[in-house]
Amino acid sequence: MLDLKFITANPELVKRSVVLKNESVDVDKILSLDNERRQLKTRIDSLRAERKKLSRQIGELIKQGKETESLKQNVKEVGSQLAEDEEKLRAVEYELKELLLRVPNIPHKSVPVGKSEDDNVVVRTWGEKPHFSFKPKDHIALGEGLGIIDFKRGAKLAGTHFPVFLAAGAHLQRALVNFMLDLHIKKHHYIEVAPPYLANRRTMTGTGQLPKLEDDMYLCERDDYFLIPTAEVPVTNLHQDEILTAAQLPLYYVAYTACFRREAGSYGKETRGLIRVHQFDKVELVKFTLPEDSYEEMEKLLNDAEEVLQLLGLHYRVVELCTAELSFAAAKCYDLEVWAPATQRWLEVSSCSNFEDFQARRSNIRLRRSAEAKLEFPHTLNASGIALPRTIIALIETYQQPDGSITIPEPLRPYMEADSIPAP
């Protein structure tokens, strides 16, 4: 969240950011509530001082054997007013907190201003689009034809957009996860984390999913737990309410988890197959950094995610998101989009985001550079390293052969213990 002092000092900047991000929050209401809060606190302090003064006077009069009823009545009246104002203050502070949680992060000054995905900027591309001597099949035909993805049985078990991976399909998922974890741990020096798949409200609020995105989350109502939409949620909150030291930073974490999201778009052609699913596997990268290092670390984070696609030999591009496409919590974001040759689409497989101190402030993750230094907030970053469903789309469509088999990219062969998924 943004610091209230920052909002009151920069109201026009905050209002502009709300507009640029297509969000809806009443910044003037925040300013009004903050002013009311200040007035109430001043009045409460004054009333407490008055009550204390009157109590001292009553004590002195009692010692002198004098009448105190009138002063006691005054104390009662002051106490009644104090209780009323304290109740008002609690209500104002609650409303103010709720509004502050809905204020989006400020886009970094380098982010292109735009109103839709058409205003995103392609930063670079890698590789070339594959060419075929035959008409390539899409991932749905390939998956069903090879018996490695079963959409109908997934729908029977759970509902639409819950695919089942079978045989070599399940093995391919496991191979990709292990390949990515090994790459990020052994080469990129991330610390592996195996977090819970459930998160409480405070944890979901810390990374910015709540309150804005609650309707998009799967909620276990009996226990008030949420199924995590991404490992970013539990991993970022590992240091909730902790004070980190400069010597600890940067911290690099990597986690494999299943991810659960209710939002799956429409049910038309654009979301067929694996393009949008309710449950999917993902390897997530999370960083905690010193504020002055976060944008340099963001570029490194992006490169770490890119290397997965490069090693797999998949054609992709890096896209810088414009202001309107930024997530609620992000200050800057790059998307990695992989090319699916038969589906004929660029598919997002990773978002690399810098949240600056937005998430750290919400999660109360603090930084003390030295014993004498004041507390501040570290910066948090994350990227998918990478998400599986769309990567699998691109992989099987890119490496399909005329006979319907799939060639396995070199880096995955030790994990698959095979060089192809043979045609039936």
User: What amino acid positions are annotated as catalytic residues?
Assistant: 261, 276, 348, 351, 390
Beta-sheet strand order (sheet of 198-199): 198-199, 225-227, 219-220
Q: How far is CA 240 from the centre of its chain?
A: 15
Residues, the chain: 424
- Consecutive H or E run containing 57: helix 27-64
The answer for residues whose C-beta is within 8 angstroms of residue 101's C-beta and 6 or more apart is 1, 205, 210, 211, 362
- Contact 148/166 with Cβ under 8 angstroms? yes
Q: Is the peptide bond before 393 cis (omega within 30 degrees of 0)?
A: no
> What angle do the packed helices 27-64 and 11-20 form, to 10 degrees?
140
SS3 231: coil
- Contact 78/51 with Cβ under 8 angstroms? yes
The answer for residues whose C-beta is within 8 angstroms of residue 301's C-beta and 6 or more apart is 285, 287, 352, 381, 382, 383
CA distance 408 to 404: 13
CA distance 42 to 55: 20
Read off the tokens for 181. 């974890």
CA distance 308 to 318: 13
CA distance 61 to 384: 72
**Listed residue (108, 334, 374, 355) closest to 237, CA to CA:** 355
CA distance 113 to 98: 28
CA distances for 58 relative to 66, 77, 385, angstroms: 9, 15, 70
